[in-house]
Every structure is written in structure tokens, then in C-alpha cells.
Amino acid sequence: MNMLAKCCAILLFALYTIQGYAHTSEQGFVLLLPTNVYIGAGVIAVAFTALVLAILPPRISVTILEKQTLFHLPKFSSFSRHTSLLSFIFMVGLLAVGLIGPHDPMKNILPLYIWTIWWIGFVCLQSILGNLWHWINPWTGVYSLIPCINTQQSISKKLLERTGVWPAVIIYILFSFFALADPAPEDPLRLAVVVAGYWIFTLTGMLFFGGNAWLQRCECFTVLLSQMAKLSAVSTDKKQVSIGIPGWQILSKPKANYSTAFFILTLLAIGSFDGLNDTFYWLDIIGVNPLIHPGRSAIVNQTIGGLLISVALLISAFALCVWCGVYLANHHRVDKVSFSESFTQLSASILPIAVAYHFAHFLTVFLVNYQYALSATTDPLNNGSDLLGLGRYYVTTGFLNTPSTVKVIWLTQASAVVAGHVLSVILAHSIAIRLWKHSHRALLSQLPLALFMILYTLLGLWLLAAPRGS
């Protein structure tokens, strides 16, 4: 427990308020395009999808999400351990550069790789290509080399099994505090302390409670990426390669429980608040002049409060829509479906919206910062080296100043948001048919949730186009 206490102390120290650094990658950006037409078209597309699903025979809605098995895979029992060890070594190298490398976040590979390559790029890639995290998880390889006390783990594991993924929900919210409210989450030294502390904290939990048990219930990024992988069109589970339309795995995986449902909804709520957090609208609510921004350190409490309120509001709104749908479908019926069963299963249909907004919200940041990451990779210590042989390399942001390229970026963002909502409507309808086993009752149950998704499409597209002040 001494090690666990030290890890907590390190994390608390890292979260302690200091002078804030400017966020050079997320400056104010006003989208000078007539977005009303695009927003209206996106909302209509989602509404039209809900209408079409109401007309189609239920069999089509269910069979469209069925999988096809392509071929079986050979066993790679130890390969993931080796790739995990390589991932750990790479992480140690990033931490070393974070500690001794340049202090500028735009020149140090640690913040660029953590916040750009991993948090933006890899998370999106996970939802497209499947469970890549299984191969590069930086804990499992090291854990496999440590002799474990099986008796102690078996006792602790039984205690942990009762928690669901509630620990992951709490840890993810704490991570969001750091990412959104901390004055300097991109400061290399500060980030190195947090990453190292969290890695030690997680490994300690694995040693006490068992590797799989801790990762699947407490390690928020493993839980998050496992959910993201369900959206991939390709699956390699059970030593076989299967394929279907994106989201088919959500219907084939074990049913969610309350903790998993809350985790999924928390993902969407925090992602939405991240988009709202630096808009003129939010800054006006908290009394901040966007033209004279006081810095992140001056609004820590407002950011934390807004984040928690967003989580509470979204979960409450979703629960209310599900309850209304259950009431409509169960009214004067003997064979009723419970609210808890409907809430937990339908929550999985929110995943496409969360992933789509994650992609759309961070697209412009990624387009700029991956160039900084490439520049820092070729010269990690900022001493004039050129490891990649790029020669004189310049980071460009010119595509953000040209109407034609800005329009392409906006249409890509808007299309991703609309596609995510369309897929969510399809998934929710298919889940409802399986729950109620009757097309009329399934349709009634989906009316409030369809309205929720239509309005959320409007909100998501508005957030993308809203003027920003920081």
C-alpha cells in the first residue's frame, strides 16, 4: 500500500495548480462559412434515417448488423507480450525526452505523442481497425515478467468483480480534469510525472488485484479503447477474423451493465463539454471576455463544475428519453421490458456519436500537431539533429486560411458527426427490436431517443461551427 500511496501523492502533486502555459495548438478559430445549410442538412439526414427504419421490416434492421466470418487465425500466445514490452520501452523513451528534452510542448515529443498521436490518432484508429490496444498496452508485458501472489490476487479479484467499471468511470473523470482544467497539461515535465505516476499506479493495481481484473474494471483507457474497438468493422476475437458494417460487434458482445452504460455516456458528455469549453457561448456563461482570456489557471473551478454538470445533464437526459420510451412501449402490456435493461443496452448505441465527435473535434488540431510531432521526432532533443532525414522541415497552417480547404475540413467534420448519429440510430433501433421483439413496440420505445439523437446532431454541428475564444 506504500507504493499506492506514493502514486496517489505523485498524481496529486502533478495536478496542483501552477502558472498556465498557452495552448498553441487550440487557438481561437472562427469558421467563416454559411454553416446553417449544412447543419440543417445533417439534422434532416438523421431524422430521415429514423423515419426509414420505422418503415423498414424489422428483419432488415437486425440482419444488416450480422457478421461474416472470413477465416481463422493461428495462435499468437506470446506475441502480444513482446509488443507490449516494446511499447513500454518506447514509453520510457518518451518520458526520458519529456524530462530532459526541450520545455516547449510543440518541440517535445512526449506531449505531442501523448495528446496528438495517441489521444487523437490512435483512439480514432482503434475504432476503425479493431483492438490494437491489446498489442501495445504498456503494462501487460511487464506484468507477465513479475511473479504474482495468486492467493492474494484471488481474494482481491473477488472484491473487484463487484465494482463493475465504476473505478474506471471515476479515473476517467479525474483524467478529464487534468486534460481540460489543469493549467498546463502539455508541459513536458508535468506530463512526464503524470504519465509515470499513472503507469506505476496501474501496475500496482494489477499486482494487487490481478492483471485482467484491474485493466478491465479500473484502467480507464483500456475500458475506453475496448468500447471503441466495438465500432470496428473487423474483429479478430476467438482466433477468427469476422467482418460486418461498423457497430455490428456491439450487438454480439455481452450486455452492458449500469457502470458500463455510465462510462459510455460519460465519454460523450466529456467530449461534448470539451467542444463547448472554449466557445464564446461558454466563456460568456462563466463571465470571461474571450478577447482578454485570463488563462486556464483562472477558471479551473468553472471548468471542473461545467464538466460535472455536463455529465449529469447528459446522463439524465438520456435516462429520461429511455424511460419515456419504455413507458410508451410497455403501456397496457403484460410482457414488459424493464427500464434498467433498456437503459444499459441502449447506452451502447451512443458509442458512434462519441467516436465521431472525438474525430471531428480534434481534426484541425491533429492536422497541425502531427507536423510538430514529425518535426520533434527527427530532432527529439532540439539540438539540430535530423534522425529522419527530413532536411529543413516547416510546419504549415496555411490550409486553415484558405476558404476551399477550410470548407473541405468542415464538410469532413460534419459528415463524421452525421454518420455517427445515423449509425447510432440504426444501432438503437436494432437493439430495441431485440429487446421488445415486436416492431410496433420497438418503434414506440425509440421515439424519444430518436428525438434525442436528432437534437444532439444539431448540438454537435453547432459546437463545431461555434466561434472559439481560447
Does 27 score more than 50 pLDDT? no
Among all chains, which residue has been given the C-alpha cell 468542415?
Answer: 410
* pLDDT score recorded for residue 154: 59
Whether residue 470 is contained in a domain is answered as no
* pLDDT score recorded for residue 156: 65
Does 301 score more than 90 pLDDT? yes
Mean pLDDT calculated for residue range 293-308: 91
Whether residue 81 is contained in a domain is answered as yes
Mean pLDDT calculated for residue range 283-300: 86
136-183 pLDDT, tens per residue? 999 999 999 988 665 555 556 667 777 889 999 999 999 999 999 999
Q: Percent of the chain beyond pLDDT 90? A: 55
Whether residue 20 is contained in a domain is answered as no
Mean pLDDT calculated for residue range 437-455: 88
Does 395 score more than 80 pLDDT? yes
* pLDDT score recorded for residue 245: 85
Of 15-29, 55-69, 145-159, 205-219, least confident by mean pLDDT is 15-29
Mean pLDDT calculated for residue range 280-302: 88
0.85 cut: is pTM over it? Answer: yes
* pLDDT score recorded for residue 464: 87
* pLDDT score recorded for residue 370: 95
Of 3-12, 61-70, 81-90, 339-348, least confident by mean pLDDT is 3-12
Does 33 score more than 80 pLDDT? no
* pLDDT score recorded for residue 442: 85
Whether residue 19 is contained in a domain is answered as no
85-138 pLDDT, tens per residue? 999 999 999 999 999 999 999 999 999 999 999 999 999 999 999 899 999 999
Does 40 score more than 90 pLDDT? no
Residue 121, domain extent: 2-14+25-465
Whether residue 268 is contained in a domain is answered as yes
Higher-scoring residue by pLDDT: 376, 155: 376
The tally of domains found in the chain comes to 1
Per-residue confidence band for 75, with pLDDT thresholds at 50, 70 and 90 = low
Mean pLDDT calculated for residue range 218-232: 95
Of 3-17, 131-145, 263-277, 385-399, least confident by mean pLDDT is 3-17
Whether residue 453 is contained in a domain is answered as yes
Does 10 score more than 50 pLDDT? no
Residue-averaged pLDDT of the chain: 86
401-410 pLDDT, tens per residue? 888 888 889 8
3-state SS of the chain is CHHHHHHHHHHHHHCCCCCCCCCCCCCCCCCCCCHHHHHHHHHHHHHHHHHHHHHCCHHHHHHCCCCEEEEECCCCCCHHHHHHHHHHHHHHHHHHHHHHCCCCCCCCHHHHHHHHHHHHHHHHHHHHHCCCHHHHCCCHHHHHCCCCCHHHHHHHHHHHHHHCCHHHHHHHHHHHHHHHHCCCCCCHHHHHHHHHHHHHHHHHHHHHHCHHHHHHHCCHHHHHHHHHHCCCCEECHHHEEEECCCCHHHHHCCCCCHHHHHHHHHHHHHHHHHHHCCEHHHHHHCCCCHHHCCCHHHCHHHHHHHHHHHHHHHHHHHHHHHHHHHHHHHCCCCCCCCHHHHHHHHHHHHHHHHHHHHHHHHHHHHHHHHHHHHHHHHCCCCCCCCCCCCCCCCCCCHHHCCHHHHHHHHHHHHHHHHHHHHHHHHHHHHHHHHHHCCHHHHHHHHHHHHHHHHHHHHHHHHHHHCCECC
Whether residue 237 is contained in a domain is answered as yes
417-427 pLDDT, tens per residue? 999 999 999 99
Q: Percent of the chain beyond pLDDT 70? A: 87
Whether residue 444 is contained in a domain is answered as yes
